[in-house]
Amino acid sequence: MLCAVKEDLEFGAIGRLEQIVSSTFYADFLNMAQALLYQNRAEFVDIAAFLVGAVLENGLRRIARNHEVTLRESEDISSLNHKLADAKIYNDLWRQKIQLWNKLRGNADHARFGRNSSSDISHMLAGVRDFLIDFLASYAGRM
């Protein structure tokens, strides 16, 4: 049994399983956010922003781990974003988009309700999806 686990670790099967589980988690949370936005109710916009922001933050952590960028547990979206951009994992345009998404999530996190529009969060949702596809899916393909 232990030999099988060792082989799975050596050949990357555990990493692929982790990738599949996290992809499912991301898809579920992003789909929940999309469903909230479809309700077209102002009170759901901030909940959607929170969900998309949580996926973004977790995705940034995974990208950092994949590229062996050293992190502290207390890193937030802003510091993760700066570390990854400074490490040239992605370009300055992505850094700016992530800064904007962080502001949108911050409105929801800090009870500044009503500042985010449904359109803002729809664009954030689409952008985070694209970002994760570009920077997590491409890494998974190299495993």
Question: Which residue type, as a one-letter code, is found at position 12?
Answer: G
Q: What DSSP state is assigned to residue 135?
A: I
Query: Which two structure tokens, joined as six digits, stand for 14?
Result: 């555990």
pLDDT number for residue 21: 44
Query: Which two structure tokens, joined as six digits, stand for 121?
Result: 């969060």
Evaluate whether 46 touches 107 at the Cβ level (below 8 Å). Answer: yes
Give me Rg for the CA atoms of the chain. Answer: 16
Question: Which residue type, as a one-letter code, is found at position 136?
Answer: L
Span 85-137, pLDDT tens digits: 999 999 999 999 999 999 999 999 888 888 999 999 999 999 999 999 999 87
Q: What class is the 2-140 domain?
A: mainly alpha
pLDDT number for residue 27: 86
Phi-psi group of 116: left, alpha or beta (phi > 0 → left; psi -120 to 50 → alpha; rest → beta): beta
Span 53-82, pLDDT tens digits: 999 999 999 999 999 999 998 999 999 999
